Structure 1
Amino acid sequence: MSDRQGGAGLRQSWQSSQMLLVLPLALIAAITVVDTQAAEDIHLGPALVIAPALTASFAGPRTTGAVGALTVAAQTVMGTVRGGLPTANNIVQIITLSVLSVLVVLYCAIRDRKRAQLARIRSVAEAAQRVLMWPLPDQLGFVRIASLYLAAEDEAQIGGDLYAATRAFDGVRVLIGDVRGKGLPAVGEAATLLGAFREAAPRSPALTDLAEALEQSVQRHTADFEPPEEAGERFATALLVEIPDGRPIVRLASCGHPPPLLVSQGRTLTVPALHPSPPLGVQPTRPGERVLYEAPFEPGDTLLLYTDGVIEARDAGGRFYPLAERIARWTDAPPDTLVQRVRRDLVAHTGGLLNDDAALVALQRTSAEHGRHHGRIIATDALRLSIRPGSPTG
């Protein structure tokens, strides 16, 4: 938010408070006039406490205190007009209004202090998110990018889901992952995985090499920081994506992560995930165990990466969010529009209550240097399965 936008917001808030202040002031005036004109056995003074209580809902302690003092003055005027101030009833009402006004002012002060603390916590969380998980650019090379992050914990901006993208080896490499746990307790593991990806992505010739580097980093982190009571329970799923500049293909290496969705020629397909490797941190992998997949990825195609917090989100009836079914409605949407539509639909599906962190990354190839590619899926054990571009694969 810019300084100009922030200043405009403050001015608008101040003007709104000034307009709302008319209500308690009018209430004080109306009660005072009616009480002084009413019969002797009718006393409206106790209703004056509504004014400072109402003011506390939109104003700070100073304004609330001023309205409280005005109610005490109004009670004094009413007591004087109706037969003299020294009566026991008038004195009790004045003392009661004074005490209640002071309590309301104290409430306002405590509330504003909590709000300031919460604002500082939010700013720290936002700063931490920018440091740990840099915002993805709108475009890298020949790839348009849009992303979404929804944290499950209230007021949290970061959690156990993560994503990152970088240029490497004349192409774009993308990571999306999900560490065990959610919210702030999972931030340490997420930071480790992100740091390892940024360090190893430009140095690993193949995605399988990059996956090995991430595995080693997670294993080191687990050995150093895993509590004894959680032995064997720290792990992370990850999906590595590589989109080379010169060929209309996409390469993927899955470490126990849900397979992405491919939107191509107006159809939504599930990219095959044949025997994905175990999640990172579960067990050391043997040479050749990790598998590399290759599939067509033509200009205009969109690849949607997601974490299980999206597909496992439930509605009030316990039904999972049907991501593939909903994506089929928006096959012509650009990445940023697609992500925002999923966000609105997911929030509506869950009623705004997520049980787990959720992340989405949409990747769309904008152009390629060569013609149409009849892709294949490549495994490290030399298994080759041909597929027809545009045919359902899952």
Structure 2
Amino acid sequence: MLLVCLLAVIDVVVGTGLIWLPLLAAGPALAAATCGWRGVVGVGLLAASLSLVLGTRDEISGRNLTAVLAVLGSVTPAGSLAATVRERRECVLAAVRSVAETAQHALLQPSPKTVGPFQVAVHYSAAAAEARIGGDLYALTATPYGVRLIVGDVRGKGLPAVETASLVLGVFREAAHGEPDLPAVVGRIERSLARNLGNDDFVTAVVAGYPRPGRLEVVNCGHAPPLLVRGTTVVPVEPVRPAPPLGLRALTGEAPGLQALPFEDGDQLLLYTDGVAEARDADRAFHPLAEGLSRHLYDDPARTVAALHEELLAHVGGRLHDDAALLLLRKPTVSESAAPGSAAPASVLCAGSADRRDAA
């Protein structure tokens, strides 16, 4: 509408209507990109009316005016058809997005700010355009054996990765509440994957637990080492006994080892997936994750994760090229725990096969 009116004003001011009037056909053509078919027809009728008025005013010959109207008469129906097709495709896309949102809520349940004695922040983003879920996974829950969590990365992408992530999360949720120790939880997941995965499929993962105050347990199955934050110091939690990814234990017969470390008030633990660890800039340089985390340490984990994610995006040039998940766990100090409104929900289950976001 603005373009059509602008061309009309130019014709009135400058004259020489035969030059400007054919450009009125751009009005209904552009309307097809944003309007419905009725809007296209309305713009086309407006353009035709202005063509008649301005053509008569500029004393344009009947042949030339007829040519202008013929162009408008062709572009307007074509634009209406294009608008109709676009609207139908948008309806299909909306339905697909609705299904994706349902899948996201099934696997990526929103994480509360607190779980058990911990503050929690999660961010997930899928590499695939318009995707809500991808090949990464995470889950966090309060159990009779303390808070337990898993962060993992499924080999591959797309629906097969989503299916595998769903399998891992389902087994973890059951085992976390039923098994008394972390190696048993990992064993349950391993046995399930051995029955259901192909020979070339596997899942790297870190399973962690907080069985009692001051003690954090970690089992690393071929995954990137978590980052432990104590004060302003950030150190990777390297596995004492490296183990193969989940689904590949039969190749080595070696079970992953349990690693215990102190975890006191104010300490934080960052778990992440390969999409974060392997983020590169235009010169193919990796992002220094530990240094980046040390630059963005706050008492609020959500603020820390958001700042770290923004730095990652800036490093890679605006978009991560792999599924990426960040999960930050923080043990509040005694004074923070005693603050009003600090009560924690009983449990949370989350998974990303996941964009996911801030956070997530």
- What is the TM-score of this pair, normalised by structure 2? 0.86
Amino acid at match of 1:198: R
Please, which moves more after superposition, 151-160 or 68-77? 68-77
Could you tell me whether the CA contact under 8 Å between 1:136 and 1:164 is conserved in 2? Answer: no
Q: 1:125: Cα distance to partner?
A: 1.0
Structure 1 equivalent of residue 313 of structure 2: 347
- For 2:196, the equivalent position in structure 1 comes to 221
- C-alpha change, 1:79 and 1:294, in structure 2 (3 Å) is same
Question: Any idea what the Cα deviations from partners look like across 1:156-199, whole Å, max 9, x if unmatched?
Answer: 11011000011113410001010101244411111110111111
Q: Which residue of 2 aligns with 1:251?
A: 217
**Quick check: 1:66 aligned with 2:45?**
no
1:96 aligned onto 2:71: yes
Matched, 1:273 2:239: yes
1:318 CA drift (Å) = 0.7
Residue 186 of structure 2 corresponds to: 211
Q: What's the offset of the Cα at 1:329?
A: 0.9
Q: Does residue 78 of the first structure (1) align with residue 54 of the second (2)?
A: yes
Residue of structure 2 in register with 1:239 after alignment: 206
Where does residue 353 of structure 2 map in the other structure?
A: none
Looking at structure 1, the residues matched to 294 and 60 of structure 2 have their Cα atoms a distance apart, in angstroms, of: 78
Report Cα offsets for 1:206-258 as digits up to 9, x if no partner.
10000000001111211xxx4xxxxx2110011101013x4212100111111
Structure 1 residue 63: deviation in Å?
Answer: 1.7
Pick one of 80, 94, 102 that aligns with 1:105.
Answer: 80
Q: Is residue 7–residue 21 contact of structure 2 (8 Å, CA) maintained in 1? A: no
With a CA cutoff of 8 Å and minimum separation of 6, indicate the structure with the bigger relative contact order: 2
- Structure 1's 289 and 53: CA in aligned 2 closer, same or farther, altered over 3 A? same
Contact 1:183 1:357 in 2 (8 A): no
**1:6 corresponds to:** none
Compared CA separation, residues 48 and 25, structure 1 to 2 (3 A): closer
- Match for residue 136 of structure 1 among 87, 111, 122: 111
Q: Is 1:160 matched with 2:135? A: yes
Aligned-residue offset at 1:32: 5.4
**Does the CA-based 8 Å contact 1:133-1:194 persist in structure 2?**
no
Structure 2 alignment gaps of length 5 or more: 335-360
Letter in 1 for 2:120: I
How far apart are residue 29 of structure 1 and its match? 3.5
Structure 2 residue identity aligned to 1:47: L
Deviation at 1:103, TM superposition (A): 2.0
Does the alignment pair 1:328 with 2:294? yes
Compute the RMSD of aligned alpha carbons.
Answer: 2.3
Instruction: Work out whether residues 145 and 180 of structure 2, in 8 Å CA contact, stay in contact via their aligned partners in 1.
Output: no
Say yes or no: does 1:125 pair with 2:104.
Answer: no
Measured in 2, the distance between the counterparts of 1:287 and 1:185 equals 26
Percent of aligned positions that are identical: 41
Which residue number corresponds to residue 53 of structure 1?
29
Aligned to 1:179: 154
Encode CA deviations 1:328-358: one digit per residue, 9 max, x unaligned: 1123342111111111111111123322111
Give the one of 205, 230, 233 matched to 1:264: 230
Asked if structure 2 preserves the Cα contact closer than 8 Å seen for 1:24 and 1:52, the reply is no
Contact 2:241–2:256 at 8 Å: present in 1 too?
A: no
The CA distance in 2 between the partners of 1:142 and 1:83, in whole Å, is: 83
2:273 to 298, 307, 316: 307
Amino acid at match of 1:160: G
Q: 2 CA distance for matches of 1:238 and 1:281?
A: 11
| 2:12 aligned partner | 33
Cα distance between partner residues in 2 of 1:106 and 1:31: 30
SS of residue in 1 equivalent to 2:5: helix
Higher Cα Rg, which structure: 1
Equivalences, count: 334
Change in 2 beyond 3 A, CA 1:216/1:367: farther
- Taking the aligned partners of 1:52 and 1:253, their CA distance within structure 2 comes to 62
SS at match of 2:312: helix
Note if contact 1:262-1:271 (Cα within 8 Å) is conserved in structure 2.
Answer: yes
- What is the alpha-carbon distance in structure 2 between the residues aligned to residue 350 and residue 275 of structure 1? 33
TM superposition shift of 1:58: 4.2
TM-score in terms of structure 1 length: 0.79
* Aligned match of 2:175: 200
Q: Is the 8 A contact 1:156 1:184 kept in 2?
A: no
Which residue of structure 1 aligns with residue 347 of structure 2? none
CA distance in 1, matches of 2:106, 2:75: 47
Distance 1:156 1:216 in 2: 30
Shift of 1:300: 0.9
1:270/1:328 Cα in 2 relative to 1: closer, same or farther (>3 Å)? Answer: same
